[in-house]
Amino acid sequence: MLGGTGKTGRRIADRLTARHLPVRIGSRSAVPAFAWDDRTTWGPALDGVTAVYLSYYPDLALPGAYDDVKAFTELAVRTGVRRLVLLSGRGEPEAQASEVTVAESGAEWTVVRCSWFMQNLSEGFLHGQVLGGVIALPGPDVAEPFVDVDDIADVAVAALTEEGHAGRLYELTGPRLLTFAQVAAELSEATGRQIVFQQMTPEAYRAAAVAEGLPEDEAAGLTEMFTGIIDGRNAYLADGVHEALGRPARDFADYARANAKEWTI
């Protein structure tokens, strides 16, 4: 379970544990430890493992990600992994290159392709901005297909534990397209506070990310990624949640109401 302490990974781990299935968390703090930037940790983390949820940190679109995923996937298959579930990025050519690597690995594979997580606003890098009343990003106010991380976790668990998902690419979105201004308005309604969207220049965004504690290289990479993908390329809906689970995707309004307490000052 790579990224087992992250937004998707910990939810998947909790669901698998609730089913009394053995789970190994892939993180720096786990035993054995796992780190993408230390390949000596990969083998011990894979020992005895037959299925892997593959989530790359910080993002598949960043330099070096493809090489890491290719090397890890090859090692995983050599050591006995039979099933791979990859969390991929929608509208990211670099991420899709990693999808091909996983599909050609020889293992049973499933790709779960997403873009903006709703939970980025409540437990991710935008949480502090929402608390401050201003969602600021380096891009125009285009529509995005926000997806609930709980939907991602449900699909990934199904792919890891059930038959019928091998060789499938599931594009996951919510049921509505929302601009960031509309997101701010829905959060305002759910919380009773005024929350707005503000477009930043890439330079200002990068500086703000560093000021908030993000390492310079990660801040630069995220700024480049956001300025590249916040351009409307993902402004269309997909039906991956229903295809995988037979139910509709969760709506942003339900998410906002359920998490309103997370934005209480």
Q: What is the pLDDT of residues 77-133, one digit of tens each?
A: 999 999 999 999 998 999 999 999 999 999 999 999 999 999 999 998 789 999 999
pLDDT at 48: 96
Average pLDDT estimate for 142-157? 97
Residues 238 and 258: their CA atoms lie apart, in Å, by: 24
pLDDT at 208: 84
Could you tell me the pLDDT band of residue 229, with boundaries at 50, 70 and 90? confident
Could you tell me the pLDDT band of residue 265, with boundaries at 50, 70 and 90? confident
- Residue 232's alpha-carbon distances to 139, 142, 256, in angstroms, are 10, 5, 23
Instruction: Determine how many CB atoms are found less than 10 A away from the CB of residue 140.
Output: 11
pLDDT at 144: 95
pLDDT at 225: 76
Could you tell me the pLDDT band of residue 59, with boundaries at 50, 70 and 90? confident
Could you tell me the pLDDT band of residue 5, with boundaries at 50, 70 and 90? confident
Kindly compute the dihedral angle of the four CA atoms of residues 246, 121, 10, 51, in this order, to the nearest 10 degrees: 50
* Choice between 222 and 242, residue whose per-residue pLDDT is larger: 242
pLDDT at 10: 95
What average pLDDT does the structure give for the chain? 94
With contact defined as beta carbons under 8 Å apart, do 122 and 97 qualify?
no
With contact defined as beta carbons under 8 Å apart, do 223 and 206 qualify?
yes
pLDDT at 194: 97
Q: Does the pLDDT of residue 70 top 80, yes or no?
A: yes
Could you tell me the pLDDT band of residue 148, with boundaries at 50, 70 and 90? very high
Q: Which CATH class, in words, describes the domain spanning 7-263?
A: alpha beta
- Measured distance between the N- and C-terminal CA atoms of the chain, rounded to whole angstroms: 34
pLDDT at 214: 81
Could you tell me the pLDDT band of residue 230, with boundaries at 50, 70 and 90? confident
Q: What is the pTM of this model?
A: 0.93
* Choice between 164 and 215, residue whose per-residue pLDDT is larger: 164
- Residue 18's alpha-carbon distances to 12, 15, 124, in angstroms, are 10, 5, 25
With contact defined as beta carbons under 8 Å apart, do 13 and 1 qualify?
yes
Q: Does the pLDDT of residue 54 top 80, yes or no?
A: yes
